Amino acid sequence: MGIGITDSPIPFNRMPGTVFVVIAYTYVLFMVFPMLNVMSTLDRNQIEAARDLGASTARLHWRVVIPHAKPGIAVGCISTFMLAAGAFSVPRIISRGLQAEWFAQTIYNKFFESQASNVGAAYSLTYTLVCFVLVALFMWAMRTRLKDFARAQ
């Protein structure tokens, strides 16, 4: 407002993308650290060999760096997804109740604010199964196995 871009304050707590931006900002380190950990084990000789064989930068990343970093990418994506899926306080704090509830908030409300704990248990089990299936599909799409995650940690 001081530099003349807008006449009134922007109500970020009413914008639908605000919660996504805050969750991405909050959990970005859970994505970066596993990738950084795996990338630190990449042998520089492989990069030099690819360059000596005439690989372009894009081809070097596509054929050497990304396949090596795949377990770190998978661990980062899965941990970030699970943290975001279980986020209860971030949507509540950021939106101040002005946006629709996230599923974790709905489960909490069924358990503690209404006396429908059986509905909350059913929602919780369904949510757990959906998250498990999504993680399994992601692991299948990335062609990673559980033993690959041990290397990424």
- For residue range 48-57, list pLDDT tens digits in order: 999 999 999 9
> Would residue 96 be called left, alpha or beta, if left means φ above 0 and alpha means ψ between -120 and 50 degrees?
left
- For residue range 59-93, list pLDDT tens digits in order: 999 999 988 888 888 888 888 888 887 776 666 66
Which residues, at least 6 apart from 62, have a Cβ–Cβ distance to it below 8 Å? none
Question: Mean pLDDT of all residues in the chain?
Answer: 81
Q: Encoding tokens for residue 79?
A: 């941990």
Q: Where do the domains of the chain lie?
A: 16-152
Q: pLDDT over 70 for what percent of the chain?
A: 84
Instruction: Identify the band that residue 149 occupies on the pLDDT scale cut at 50, 70 and 90.
Output: low
CA distances from 16 to 32, 37, 91, 104, 122 (A): 25, 33, 10, 17, 27
Give the CA dihedral 31, 36, 37, 42, nearest 10 degrees: 140
The answer to whether residue 46 scores a pLDDT higher than 60 is yes
Give yes or no for a contact between 73 and 35, defined as CB atoms under 8 angstroms apart: yes
